[in-house]
Amino acid sequence: MDTSKMTVSQLKEWMRQAKRQEVEAVLPFLEQDKRKGIRQLASQWLRQEELNRHKEARWERLIAMEQKLREQGYTAIAGVDEVGRGPLAGPVVAAAVILPAQIRLLELNDSKQLSASLREELAVEIKAQAVAYHVAFVDAEEIDRINVYQASKKAMTLAVQGLCHAPDYVLLDAMTIPLHISQRSIVKGDSRSASIAAASVLAKVERDTWMKQQAVRYPQYGFERNMGYGTKEHWQAIHTYGLTPLHRRSFIDGQLSLEDIMHE
């Protein structure tokens, strides 16, 4: 292939469609090309390949736990995670996800390490490819009644119970649940297990979407920006407008005066 007769745009399009081995075969010629644009194409391709290798290595680490469990005979491994323990308002949300054995989600990571737009893209892909998934909510009133730790455990239990395909093993992020299923609690599980990472993405996207919907009902509190967390803007709104039914009184009592709370 004579790359010297191709324009930058032609080479760029060819490299986009070509197999890795084909590009590697002509790369020495591209790196020595007199045209700056061609040399830049070669450098960009090498940087992208390095990034891809990093993502592939991360994916292999993420999926290793599930692969080991499959080798032990488990076929339906559910990852479970929850979000929303810390906010002043809104529910705790948990997701349970069973991924197929052959899935590859190279962009997947702990949801906190991903941009909002990438989380949303991954959530669509996870839902499309998952063997099963379910998302469960526990509202602010229940959080106040049983405390946020128990609410998190309840949400995770409900997420597993809601799966249309029963799991034979459950991986959870730093939690155990009261179900008679083989399970393992993993500290920082959303960065160590692909299934838990997938669950963390679904839970985060579902909760954020719900809070944005509530922002239409309660526009003064900035829920579409703070997702119920105790930002300065949110605290100022509470002092000005009082509490909504979405607020966790157990998180706020003692930090506001009685007069503030009665203002709702």
Helix, coil or strand: residue 129: helix
Check whether 81 is labelled as a binding-site residue: yes
C-alpha radius of gyration, the chain, whole number: 24
Q: How far apart are CA 15 and CA 18, in angstroms?
A: 5
**Residue 181 tokens, joined:** 């299923």
Q: CB neighbours of 225 closer than 8 A, spacing ≥ 6?
A: 231, 233
Q: Residue 13: CA atoms inside 13 Å, Cβ hemisphere, count?
A: 4
**Order of all β-strands in the sheet with 183-186:** 132-138, 92-98, 77-83, 169-173, 183-186
Q: Give me 198's structure tokens.
A: 């997938």
- Which H or E run includes 173? strand 169-173
| Residue 50 among known ligand-binding residues | no
Residues with Cβ within 8 Å of 16's Cβ and at least 6 positions away in sequence, in order, are none
CB neighbours of 245 closer than 8 A, spacing ≥ 6?
A: 140, 141
Q: Is 2 annotated as a binding residue?
A: no
Binding residues for a divalent metal cation, as ranges, are: 81-82, 173
Binding residues, as ranges, are: 81-82, 173
